[in-house]
Amino acid sequence: MHSDRAPLWLKIAAAAGLLFLHVPILLIFAYAFTTEDKSYQWPPPGLTLQWFGVTWNRPDVWEALSLSVRVAAVSTVIALILGTLCAAAMARFRFFGREAISLLVILPIALPGIITGISLRSAFNLGGIPFSFWTIVLGHATFCIVVVYNNAVARFRRTSSSLVEASMDLGANGFQTFAHVILPNISTALLAGGMLAFALSFDEVIVTTFTAGQQQTLPIWMLEELVRPRQRPVTNVVAMVVVLVTFLPILAAYYLTRGTETVAGQGK
């Protein structure tokens, strides 16, 4: 008789893979509580909460965190607007070069980050654009748009075009149709895409390195602290915060898009 249960060896392999991925993250959490501030010892010689207070009182941490949050928020807003508009055009209209344009939209996230970073830095230098908050935002928006686009275009394709036609037949204008018909059908996809874009922007390192100039986002601050550490446990406390800040939006995006295969009007 056929069984849907996985064989024991497959369960063991899956468990080993999960441990390989997540044990290093758990070690970061453990070292955030260690009493040793010079080196990494296992097991930690003692546990303390003092480093959370030290981290709280470090102005450089707050400056880096503030910059990361602001960059991620603005990049996400830009990605939501441009990614949604691009997805609507790709899903609803047929025109020459449509597939080529679609490939160009998703290309930034497929390219290595160092290629994107070098390209942007060269463009800013050629244009005489000084490195600032906005150069970081533009760099992050290039790949954040892709995340929103992928979520939105999939939902657009599962939403029946007859809903739009019916709305227009009943006298609704373009804005009313978007607000009352299209947006409710794609809202969870946009929210999930926005959360993923925020998480990606918040922990981006490579592109930021080429577009930030002298500014430090939180991941760049962590990289500098690892190279020239002052208080190692503080870096682990900050890393713990980054893990939580990026994990929670991804988890929320998963639950928002789970079970949304059936969209209003699908199959009509």
Class of domain 60-257: mainly alpha
Q: How far apart are CA 106 and CA 168, in angstroms?
A: 31
Work out the pLDDT band at 268, boundaries 50, 70, 90: very low
Q: How far apart are CA 80 and CA 89, in angstroms?
A: 14
pLDDT at 168 over 80: no
Work out the pLDDT band at 74, boundaries 50, 70, 90: very high
**Which residue has tokens 């019916």?**
166
Work out the pLDDT band at 218, boundaries 50, 70, 90: confident
Rg of the chain's alpha carbons, rounded to an integer? 23
| Domain residue extents for the chain | 60-257
Q: How far apart are CA 258 and CA 184, in angstroms?
A: 16
Instruction: Indicate whether this model's pTM tops 0.85.
Output: no
Give 135-149 pLDDT, tens digit per residue: 888 888 888 888 888
pLDDT (0 to 100) of residue 261: 47
Percent of the chain as helix, strand, coil, to the nearest 5: 75, 0, 25
Give 84-106 pLDDT, tens digit per residue: 888 888 777 777 767 777 777 77
| Phi–psi pair at 34, nearest 5 degrees | -75, 150
**Which residue has tokens 């160092």?**
114
Strands annotated E in 166-262: none
**Which residue has tokens 């939180």?**
218
> Between vectors from CA 62 to CA 61 and to CA 65, what angle results, nearest 5°?
85
Q: How far apart are CA 200 and CA 147, in angstroms?
A: 9
Which SS3 state, helix, strand or coil, does residue 47 take?
A: strand
